[in-house]
Structures are given as C-alpha cells and as structure tokens.
C-alpha cells in the first residue's frame, strides 16, 4: 500500500550546517520553528538555522494534549494567548498546511457556588477585553456533554461551568511540520540530530554555538528549548528560575464521536478531549518531583483515569492504548520567560510550563520580533527575565484552572 507514496517530494531539504548564520535558534519545537518562519516572512531575515539535538517535533510540541485557549484571568496571559488564538484561526491558510485547528470549545466545570463566582469573575474580566465566554447551567452542560455524570449524587456534583467557544484543539505534528516546511521554503535551514553543547562568546557578545556537528557562527542566538533551557542557559553562566518536571498524558482506544468539546475538571487537574481519530485524550498533573527524562510513574496516570471515571463512568469499558511524557520547564510564577539576557545577542523563550502549545504562533511571532529588532515587543514586556528580581511576577494561579 505504501508503494504509491514512493515518489512524493521530500517535505524538507536535508541540509548540513553552514559555517555562519545571522540567527541560530536552538530547538526545533513549535516555538523555535514558528520564530524562524516569522523571522523570514515578516522581517526578511532568512539566513537562519533551527538546530535540534533530536528530530523535528520530537519534543513537547508533539507530546502535548493540544489544548488551545485564551481564557486567562491575568491580562498579560490573556493578551498573549488571544494574539495566538487569532493566529491559530488563520494558520492552516498561512502555512498552506492543514493544522486541523478545531474550535470545539473548552468547558471548565465548577463544583461549588464559590467556583461559579470565580468563573463569572474570570469571564467578566475576559469580556471586558473583548474575549467572549459564556457561563453554562448544569442543564446546558448536560445537553452539550451527555456522557458527563451530572447527577446530584456524583462524587463531585457539577454546579455549572464556563465555555470559551473559540478554544479547541489542533494537530500537533502538523503544526511542527507546517512551520518547518514553510520556513524551509523561505530559506531557513532546519538541522536535526545536532546537539548544542556550548554557546560561544567574545567580549560579552554571542558569536555562535558549539554543537555535536562542529562550531556554527551566529550574530544572534535564541534558545527555544523547553526542557533543555536551564542546561543551555548554564552554558553562559545564567541560572534560570525553572525546574524540569515530567507531565504525562494517555489515550484510549478509538471510538465513534462521543465528546465534541474539551472538558476540564474543577477539583483535580484533569481534562479530556476526543481526537479526530476517535481516541479520548486524558491529561492530568505533573509527576511531582524534578525529572528530566521522559519516563513517568504510574500514580499520575491512575489519578487521571480515576477522575475520568468519576466524570464519565461510561468510559470505564474503554482500554487505554498508550501513555507518554514530556519534560516541561516549570517557571516559579507559572508564566513564560520571553526575554533578552545579560549576554548581548542571546535571547530566551522558556518556562512555558504545561501551557506552551496554545501560545506557539504568538511565541514564534513575538520571539522573531525580539530577535529582529533587539527590542522587547509589547506583548513580551510582562515576561522578561528581570521580573523575578523585581518581584513583578505574572501569577495566574488562584485565578482559574491549571494552565494547560
Ligand atoms: P519542544 O517541542 O520541547 O521543543 C524544544 C526542542 O529543543 C526539543 O525538540 C529539544 O530536542 C530541543 N533541545 C533541547 N536542548 C537542546 C540542545 N542542547 N541542543 C539542541 N536542541 C535542544 N500546552 C498547551 O498549550 N496545551 C496543552 O494541552 C498542553 N498539554 C501538554 C501535555 C503534555 C503531556 C506535555 C508534556 C506538555 C503539554 N503542553 C501543553 C505544553 C507544551 O507542549 C509546551 O509548553 C510547548 O510544546 C513547548 O514549546 P516547544 O514546542 O517549542 O517545545
């Protein structure tokens, strides 16, 4: 059956590193590839390499549960993710690649009247800035998600919820490949299996990177390496306020369409959606201790399944098909770092915790502007590295559900 695919053109040229680039981006995840694309498309900077120690899209960009939303309480997080959401809405056309962005809506469940008040407060804050959301009664939730146990004697009775209709999911590999192909068409080099082992400096300024495939010169270097960020920053003596943790997810065997929204629990860290193939995707909490490997423990998976069955008892017949993990770079305030550094010509995009997929197009767009202009773009101003010294942190915690 595969014979018919033999003559397909290669999506990306297989390039070897050149001696020198204007910009080197470390990390061929969603953020690094998107930044390279916008550098070329919007700023005309095409002498760019995106370098990855593994394969294109082998990191969190293709390990995440693909939730895209902008329903944040904190104005800075909301503005950033809303910019991203607007870019998501035109991304398949922009890249000429179907990223399967599906605006199926995200429903945050509330299990107490206090939580309903909190949702109303967040919804009002969103509405003030033009991001539409709607509170749902239990009856409306039942109608929209009939499989949910909405009975009053459920383990965590549902009292109501909130929906952001424009939120949804996307196909993660397609996002990586879409940006990669579009960037490569504009002249960007995407170099796989090339680990950055050092960052070369001269007179306090970046001059390139040392890699497992030799030295590569660069006038500017950007780190977009998610779980690899701390180790890379240490190469220039920078200690980032980040910890590596493992986040796991799992999928069931595929079934016919049974769930056409993303649903999040209001008590435990748990959320669920259904892929276009029919698998139910379950996400939950961090493993709870520092970890830089992608091998996880069973208890977080058991907790996910337990919560799933309290909400959707009828899914108990399904078999789990597989689980996996990704190393997430957790920042101390739960918000990202998008910033210049103390090293001239070195920029950092990190600390996206468990919520960076939704930001991918905006993170790329803003990082590209930062690199191209050497000035902090408006949307990045709240997220500079110096906020941890000044105490001007951007903490969404306490204002809503966890930031997947
Ligand atoms: P990555 O794809 O991880 O890219 C970083 C790249 O850097 C990697 O490919 C790595 O190989 C490379 N690298 C690292 N060190 C080096 C080095 N020394 N040299 C060269 N290359 C290097 N976010 C959401 O918004 N919604 C969700 O539903 C969601 N769910 C998640 C579920 C799970 C299980 C996980 C693990 C994460 C989830 N996230 C979610 C978070 C999201 O996936 C990340 O925040 C985001 O993907 C990080 O950006 P990235 O795509 O650029 O990272």
| 103-150 pLDDT tens trace | 999 999 999 999 999 999 999 999 999 999 999 999 999 999 999 999
Q: Is the CB of 149 under 6 A from ligand 1?
A: no
Q: What is the DSSP string of 165-208?
A: TT-EE--HHHHHHHHHHHHHHTT-EEE-S--EEEEEEETTEEEE
Residue whose CA is at the smallest distance from ligand 1 atom 31: 64
Q: Is the CB of 400 under 6 A from ligand 1?
A: no
Q: Cα(first)–Cα(last) distance of the chain, in Å?
A: 38
pLDDT band for 402, please (50, 70, 90 cuts): low
Which residue's entry shows tokens 């660069």?
A: 218
Q: What's the pLDDT at 2?
A: 72
- Percent of the chain at pLDDT exceeding 70: 98
Q: What's the pLDDT at 367?
A: 98
Dist. CA 45 → ligand 1 center (Å): 24
Instruction: Tell me the β-bridge partners of 223.
Output: 26, 348
Interface predicted TM-score (ipTM):
0.99
d(CA 72, CA 125): 9
Q: What is the mean pLDDT of residues 380-400?
A: 86
CB 361 within 8 A of CB 101: no
pLDDT band for 10, please (50, 70, 90 cuts): confident
Dist. CA 359 → ligand 1 center (Å): 11
Instruction: Tell me the β-bridge partners of 169.
Output: 67, 102
97 to 90, 183, 319, 366: CA distances (angstroms):
11, 12, 32, 21
pTM above 0.95, yes or no: yes
pLDDT band for 1, please (50, 70, 90 cuts): low
Enclosing H/E stretch for 360: helix 360-373
pLDDT band for 403, please (50, 70, 90 cuts): very low
| pLDDT tens digits, 66-109 | 999 999 999 999 999 999 999 999 999 999 999 999 999 999 99
Q: What's the pLDDT at 396?
A: 79
Dist. CA 71 → ligand 1 center (Å): 21
pLDDT band for 400, please (50, 70, 90 cuts): very low
Which ranges constitute the DSSP H helices of 44-171? 75-89, 91-95, 113-128, 138-144
Q: Is the CB of 334 under 6 A from ligand 1?
A: no
Q: To the nearest whole number, what is the mean pLDDT of the chain?
A: 95
| pLDDT tens digits, 232-282 | 999 999 999 999 999 999 999 999 999 999 999 999 899 999 999 999 999
Instruction: Tell me the β-bridge partners of 48.
Output: 23
Q: Is the CB of 354 under 6 A from ligand 1?
A: yes
Q: What is the mean pLDDT of residues 361-385?
A: 98
pLDDT band for 212, please (50, 70, 90 cuts): very high
Q: Is the CB of 64 under 6 A from ligand 1?
A: yes
Q: What's the pLDDT at 280?
A: 98
- Percent of the chain at pLDDT exceeding 90: 93
Q: Is the CB of 242 under 6 A from ligand 1?
A: no
pLDDT band for 397, please (50, 70, 90 cuts): low
Name the burial class of residue 375, with classes exposed (0-12), middle (13-18) and buried (19+) by CB atoms within 10 angstroms of its CB. Answer: exposed
Dist. CA 242 → ligand 1 center (Å): 14
Q: Is the CB of 352 under 6 A from ligand 1?
A: yes
Is residue 44 predicted with pLDDT exceeding 50?
Answer: yes
Q: What's the pLDDT at 240?
A: 97
| pLDDT tens digits, 177-192 | 999 999 999 999 999 9
The shares of helix, strand and coil residues in the chain, as percent rounded to the nearest 5, are: 30, 25, 40
Q: Which of 368, 11, 361, 365 is nearest to 181 (CA)?
A: 11
């Amino acid at each position: 059956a595969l014979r018919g695919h033999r003559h397909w053109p290669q999506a990306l040229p297989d390039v070897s590193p050149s001696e020198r680039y204007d910009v080197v981006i470390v990390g061929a995840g969603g953020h690094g590839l998107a930044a390279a694309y916008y550098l070329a498309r919007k700023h005309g900077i095409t002498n760019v390499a995106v370098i990855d120690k593994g394969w294109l899209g082998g990191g969190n960009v293709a390990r995440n549960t693909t939730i895209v939303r902008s329903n944040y309480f904190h104005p800075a997080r909301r503005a950033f993710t809303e910019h991203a959401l607007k870019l998501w809405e035109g991304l398949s056309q922009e890249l000429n690649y179907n990223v399967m962005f599906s605006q199926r809506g995200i429903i945050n469940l509330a299990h107490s009247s206090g939580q309903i008040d909190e949702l109303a407060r967040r919804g009002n804050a969103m509405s003030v800035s033009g991001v539409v959301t709607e509170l749902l009664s239990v009856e409306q939730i039942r109608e929209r998600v009939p499989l949910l146990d909405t009975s009053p004697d459920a383990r965590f009775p549902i009292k109501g919820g909130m929906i952001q209709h424009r939120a949804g999911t996307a196909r993660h590999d397609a996002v990586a490949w879409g940006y990669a192909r579009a960037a490569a068409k504009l002249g960007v080099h995407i170099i796989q299996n090339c680990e950055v082992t050092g960052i070369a400096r001269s007179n306090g300024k970046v001059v390139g990177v040392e890699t497992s495939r030799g030295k590569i010169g660069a006038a500017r270097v950007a780190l977009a390496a998610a779980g690899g960020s701390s180790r890379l920053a240490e190469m220039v003596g920078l200690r980032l306020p980040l910890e590596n943790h493992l986040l796991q997810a799992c999928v069931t065997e595929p079934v016919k369409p049974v769930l056409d929204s993303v649903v999040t629990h209001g008590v435990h860290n748990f959320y669920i959606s259904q892929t276009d193939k029919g698998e139910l995707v379950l996400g939950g909490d961090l493993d709870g201790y520092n970890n830089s490997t992608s091998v996880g423990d069973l208890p977080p998976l058991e907790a996910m399944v337990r919560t799933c069955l309290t909400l959707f008892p009828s899914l108990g017949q399904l078999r789990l098909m597989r689980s996996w993990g990704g190393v997430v770079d957790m920042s101390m305030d739960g918000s990202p770092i998008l910033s210049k550094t103390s090293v001239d010509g070195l920029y950092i995009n990190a600390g996206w915790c468990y919520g960076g997929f939704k930001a991918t197009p905006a993170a790329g767009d803003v990082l590209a502007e930062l690199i191209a202009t050497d000035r902090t773009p408006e949307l990045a101003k709240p997220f500079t590295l110096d906020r941890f010294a000044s105490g001007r942190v951007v903490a969404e915690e306490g204002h809503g559900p966890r930031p997947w």
